[in-house]
Chain A
């Protein structure tokens, strides 16, 4: 059992390290931060000084070495722009992003899962076709299109809600809806197909043949099985809580982690970009871990595999 967890954690750490390394290399190869931050007209001396101060003159491998050494000590560097600690900058944006993504996740779960189950149970009905149609729409419409459409309707035409900014809870409604609708569509589709697959299994017929009322067949026999694939997609959604709102935050000028990332990338503010990527990788990986443990909880066949390895 311990071994199983150790290996999982080891893999997670390697994944994060790979992400960070990749970002490190790509960012440094794609433009000179000194030039970008100081502007094209900056005197060469200023640029040289900047480069020296931030260690940009060192060979790439040495920079990388320093960087990893710092990370090992919990030091994630400072913003090249205003010299503040990168982690501080990022951490203060997290609650702002969560203010969008958490309510959106709630919408996804509360709308997507029931809609998927309902559609599966009434396969071929009008409601099922509606759910499927909406879910295809939610699937295919990019979030910036959806966001702008909502703005057009509720802010511009009707004037009910503000189109951007972060001054009150009313400002959050449109971005939350934008995030929630797309995710709910994905989840509805997934839940529906998982449910349909389970409903076709022989053990569902066994339960009916045993005299279990249909409602209890659904709740007691079908749902626990359908939960297994559905949890995968929910786990993925949890993984995007921090960084899944980049586009929507930009559309609605919401000053969250996503906005910070966009700005930092544009400025080649290396420490900040890397800090965010590290955070994103960590949330993704830990949500994967959570999903794995949930699997073990939901599916005894996997549990046994884990148990045997102990």
Chain B
């Protein structure tokens, strides 16, 4: 891709978590030395289960949370300190969309007022212009002029998420972080919003970090995809390619576990044993090894690093069993 818009280097984030009321503080490593870059107009999808650290990563990419280690550079510049004027100016260029649009909207204001608000804050245009721009944007995301004057609770979930999108786009941002933006929506509405998101991304030349547990949705909107497990990137690559031929054992399990309406006889489902990962209790070595059907002795000792593999388009995998140079044995599973 073309120019790098956002580059994250060795991002780490550790939370202190108390067990019980007076228990000792345990360190929970939510994100573990993760590096990635997103080009202008490109979408990087992040998939992972709960506790994988994907939301923490999204907040760090947006500068809403400072990493303990590592750095995020946006348009070549390091992230300004939170709350500084430079940081506030940058807010206009980066926006966030959450899962729950009702929580992101003010119940007491008609949606048109809220969509206009970013222009008020950043003092763009005069009152009449702001109103007109807000109306245009709401129309663009598919709201009727009658719906624009309604309050959030008078709209459906899908319409609210459209409003949130419109508001996020008002300042013409370059970068959007979406954290499970369609997970709360019904299938038919989800498809509408996903289509809209893809269209808007192309139209506005947005770069996106798209976080979801839903593989289908992630594939639909992303150019590249990274798979997270217990704070690590375990695999990263081209979206179509990664889902068609996953290399990391966890990605394979994840892809095969996704329920499909038509399963061809060849692809049996890999059902992982064991409990979901607990970030407060990271196993040593490869953090996936206790659940990995292929784990060998080395996996318990040594944490694999994310490194490029030959096949695929810029595929990176963190697994001892995937050789960096040779084609991995697809029958291994």
Contact = CB atoms under 8 A, between A and B. Distances in A.
Are any A and B Cβ atoms less than 8 Å apart in their complex? Answer: yes
Interface of A: 3-4, 7, 304-309
Q: Which of A4, A306, A307, A308 has the most CB of B within 10 A?
A: A308
Instruction: Say whether chain B's binding surface is mostly helix, strand, loop, or mixed.
Output: loop
B262 interface: no
Interface residues of B, number: 5
A304 B23 CA distance: 11
Interface stretch (B14-22, B134-142, B226-234): B14-22
Interface in B1-47: 19-23
Nearest to B19: A308
Contacts of A307: 20
A306 B23 CA distance: 9
Contacts of B23: 308-309
Instruction: Say whether chain A's binding surface is mostly helix, strand, loop, or mixed.
Output: helix
B22 A304 contact: no
Contacts of B19: 308
17 contacts: A3-B22, A4-B21, A4-B22, A7-B22, A304-B20, A305-B20, A305-B21, A306-B20, A306-B21, A307-B20, A308-B19, A308-B20, A308-B23, A309-B20, A309-B21, A309-B22, A309-B23
A307 B20 CA distance: 8
A91 to B, nearest CB: 36
A308 B20 CA distance: 6
Contacts, number: 17
Interface of B: 19-23
Nearest to A304: B20
Nearest to A309: B22
In the complex, the 10 A-B pairs of residues with the closest C-beta atoms, listed nearest first? A308-B20, A309-B22, A305-B20, A309-B20, A305-B21, A308-B23, A309-B23, A308-B19, A309-B21, A3-B22
A308 B19 CA distance: 7
A7 B23 CA distance: 13
Contacts of A305: 20-21
A309 B23 CA distance: 5
A4 B19 CA distance: 14
A3 B23 CA distance: 10
A306 B19 CA distance: 10
A213 to B, nearest CB: 36
A3 B21 CA distance: 11
B176 to A, nearest CB: 36
Contacts of B21: 4, 305-306, 309
Contacts of B22: 3-4, 7, 309
Contacts of A3: 22
Nearest to B22: A309
A156 to B, nearest CB: 53
B281 to A, nearest CB: 14
A216 B173 CA distance: 59
B22 to A, nearest CB: 4
A304 B22 CA distance: 12
B82 to A, nearest CB: 33
A85 to B, nearest CB: 40
A306 B22 CA distance: 8
Contacts of A306: 20-21
A212 B208 CA distance: 51
Nearest to A3: B22
A305 B21 CA distance: 6
A310 to B, nearest CB: 9
A101 B27 CA distance: 51
A4 B20 CA distance: 11
Contacts of A309: 20-23
A89 B21 CA distance: 42
B17 to A, nearest CB: 12
A304 B19 CA distance: 10
Given A309-B21, A309-B23, 6 more contacts: A3-B22, A7-B22, A306-B21, A307-B20, A308-B19, A308-B23
